[in-house]
Amino acid sequence: MNDDGFSAEKLFNQGYSYTYDDVIFLPGFIDFPTDAVNLSTKLSRNISLSIPCVASPMDTVTETSMAVGMAALGGIGIVHYNNTISQQASIIRAAKSHQIPFSSDLIFASPSDSIHSADEFGNSPCIFVTESGTKESKFLGVVCKSTWNGLSDKQARISDYMNVSPVTLPSSYNFEDVAGYIASKKLDFVPLVNEKDREVVNLVKATDLERMNSLPKLGLPSLGTDGKFLVGAAIGTRDSDKERLEHLVKAGINALVIDSSQGNSEYQINMIKYVKHTYPHLDVIGGNIVTKYQAENLIKHNVDGLRVGMGSGSICTTQEVCAVGRGQATAVYKVSSIAEQHGVPVIADGGISNSGHIVKALSLGASTVMMGSFLAGSNEAPGTYENKNGLRVKKYRGMGSLEAMTKGSDARYLGDTAKLKIAQGVVGSVADKGTVLKFVPYTMQAVKQGFQDLGASSLQSAHHLLRSGTLRLEVRTGAAQVEGGVHGLVGYEKKYF
């Protein structure tokens, strides 16, 4: 019997609430190469993923572009609901209509419009002309920036000079097909059009070919039985969320997250019952929870997945405001020890700021990690980059921040104008990280190295090491945490890849 270090069972039963940084694993035995580590997993009972990564349902994290990027990587994005029903449904429809791993910004105008300034093109080489000037309208033609630049009468109506027969490709084409076509015809760009309703879905530029070639090779994407990207969505626990759900189901969601900071409530249980009864084939993820007791209650009502984390998120102030929550390492271990007995996968939500935290979450029993701040600085997150003190940043805010609550179009807070609003989150910003298509694969490679050090060649094997007591861990003192980081240098640059 190995008496070095502690088993998780012993370590997590001593009355302390531990975070990821508090604990450290002792190395195991390596008998396989890093590339033999298999990170495939389950989001929920019936949804399989090839990487354990989930984008959080937050309005500065997951809309179409993030959902597409995460599914292309083999993970999944959960689309937020701090918008109208039609906006959320349209984000989901757009994500599900993609076959290629990225989503370009598309600009639309109607034939009767005029283009007054080159700025209206943004970064796009063209403006798309549709009947109503919106995306969900019949595609009529394009105006290329070069054509507009050459116009003598800049006030002319678009209908007078647009190209009504541009080269397009069907949106069902995959990236290799589109890239091959662009290269062979020497095109600058090609719009991808949904043949059924003649809607423009995406735009691939010649520069994208080079960009994609410089990125790590993608593994298996997350696809549903219909061959389309897997996309999840979140809703709340109000009655109005039932109408929202009807539209999300029509838009094709594959998984539903019932979003609440304290998921063990009558409101949530009633919603779970409603969803399970009305849409028996939809996987329902309940949460958020941090205790065995909460988990048992939601499992009893047949949830297909559990979202774990209260107050651990980077923008969360719940533990300060409400004095309720739990250290995330303890929360993940405790909840997953119950969930595993019922075959319910656990999502470790919040507090992930490096690959080591992902290794810890998964080795303590989670099947996936949900991330907000880790993804919010990517190109795929909503919003534009700003310059702050010489640093390129994007806004990232808590869904319980005053700003997000007052923006909220649903009745959660605005309907309750008589109530005093208390924020449980902050508004901040995060540094530019480039595309998820690059930094997520590198992060997964780092996670594989962590698993190799532990002697775990898969999530199943990591969970087996955990439950059998073979995985040994310890709590790090403050000094040990300092020692485990970079220390004693005058200056340094941290570069992971």
Ligand X SMILES: O=c1[nH]c(=O)c2[nH+]cn([C@@H]3O[C@H](COP(=O)(O)O)[C@@H](O)[C@H]3O)c2[nH]1
The two structure tokens encoding residue 85: 């029903």
User: For ligand NAI, which residue of 54, 200, 310, 437 counts as binding (CB under 6 A)?
Assistant: 310
Q: Report the run of H or E that residue 147 belongs to, with start and end.
A: helix 145-150
Q: Which position among 126, 316, 326, 472 bears the catalytic label? A: 316
Q: Is 201 in the site for ligand NAI (CB under 6 A)?
A: no
Per partner kind, with CB cut-offs from 5 to 8 A, the member of K ion, ligand NAI, ligand X, none near residue 412 is ligand NAI
d(CA 319, CA 294): 17
Residues 301-320 that bind K ion (CB under 5 A): 316
Number of residues engaging ligand NAI in binding (CB under 6 A): 20
User: For ligand X, which residue of 372, 377, 382, 450 counts as binding (CB under 6 A)?
Assistant: 372
Residue 12 phi, psi dihedral angles, 5° rounding: -90, 10
Q: Is 60 in the site for ligand NAI (CB under 6 A)?
A: no
Q: Is 130 in the site for ligand X (CB under 6 A)?
A: no
User: For ligand NAI, which residue of 103, 130, 237, 297 counts as binding (CB under 6 A)?
Assistant: 237
Instruction: Determine if residue 309 is labeled as part of a ligand binding site.
Output: yes
Q: Is 28 in the site for ligand X (CB under 6 A)?
A: no
Query: What's the start-to-end Cα distance of the chain, in Å?
Result: 39
d(CA 343, CA 490): 50
Instruction: Determine if residue 398 is labeled as part of a ligand binding site.
Output: yes
**What is the DSSP track for 240-263?**
HHHHHHHHHHHHT-SEEEE--SS-
d(CA 285, CA 44): 7
Any idea how long the chain is?
497
User: C-beta of 404: minimal distance to K ion in Å?
Assistant: 16
User: C-beta of 350: minimal distance to ligand X in Å?
Assistant: 4
Give me the helix-helix angle, 64-73 and 436-454, nearest 10°: 40
User: Residue 381 in contact with residue 343, Cβ under 8 Å?
Assistant: no
Instruction: Determine if residue 126 is labeled as part of a ligand binding site.
Output: no
Residue type, 439: F
Q: Is 318 in the site for ligand X (CB under 6 A)?
A: yes
Per partner kind, with CB cut-offs from 5 to 8 A, the member of ligand X, K ion, ligand NAI, none near residue 352 is ligand X
Strand-pair partners of 48: 42
d(CA 21, CA 496): 19
Q: Which position among 244, 326, 412, 472 bears the catalytic label? A: 412
Residue of minimal Cβ distance to K ion: 316
Q: Which residue has the tokens 């647009």?
A: 162
Residues 393-412 that bind ligand X (CB under 6 A): 398-401
Tell me whether residue 299 or residue 316 sits nearer to K ion (CB atom): 316
Instruction: Determine if residue 396 is labeled as part of a ligand binding site.
Output: yes
307 is catalytic: no
User: C-beta of 424: minimal distance to ligand NAI in Å?
Assistant: 4
User: C-beta of 312: minimal distance to K ion in Å?
Assistant: 6
d(CA 65, CA 69): 6
Who's near 387: CB < 8 A, 6+ residues apart?
Answer: 393
Per partner kind, with CB cut-offs from 5 to 8 A, the member of ligand NAI, ligand X, K ion, none near residue 260 is ligand NAI
Q: Which residue has the tokens 């107050």?
A: 311
Per partner kind, with CB cut-offs from 5 to 8 A, the member of K ion, ligand X, ligand NAI, none near residue 161 is none
d(CA 8, CA 467): 8
Give me the helix-helix angle, 85-96 and 240-251, nearest 10°: 20
Instruction: Determine if residue 104 is labeled as part of a ligand binding site.
Output: no
d(CA 146, CA 88): 34
Q: Is 437 in the site for K ion (CB under 5 A)?
A: no
Instruction: Determine if residue 260 is labeled as part of a ligand binding site.
Output: yes
User: For ligand NAI, which residue of 260, 264, 314, 443 counts as binding (CB under 6 A)?
Assistant: 260
User: From residue 43 to residue 82, what is the string marking binding to ligand X with x (rule CB under 6 A)?
Assistant: -------------x-x------------------------
The two structure tokens encoding residue 386: 């700003």
How many other CB atoms sit within 10 Å of the CB of residue 402? Answer: 17
476 is catalytic: no
- Whole-angstrom CA distances from 434 to 11, 219, 301 are 38, 19, 41
Q: Is 141 in the site for ligand NAI (CB under 6 A)?
A: no
The two structure tokens encoding residue 44: 């929920």
3-class SS string, 95-140: HHCCCCCCCCCCCEECCCCCCCCHHHHCCCCEEEEECCCCCCCCEE
Number of residues engaging K ion in binding (CB under 5 A): 1
Per partner kind, with CB cut-offs from 5 to 8 A, the member of ligand X, K ion, ligand NAI, none near residue 97 is none
Q: Which residue has the tokens 């941290």?
A: 494
User: C-beta of 397: minimal distance to ligand X in Å?
Assistant: 7
Tell me whether residue 74 or residue 325 sits nearer to ligand X (CB atom): 325
Give catalytic residue positions. 316, 412
Known binding residues for K(+) are 311, 313, 316
Annotated binding-site residue numbers: 259-261, 309-311, 313-314, 316, 349-351, 372-373, 396-400, 424
Binding residues for IMP: 314, 349-351, 372-373, 396-400, 424
Annotated binding site for NAD(+): 259-261, 309-311
Positions touching ligand X (CB under 6 A) are 56, 58, 288, 309, 311, 313-318, 349-352, 370-374, 398-401, 424-425
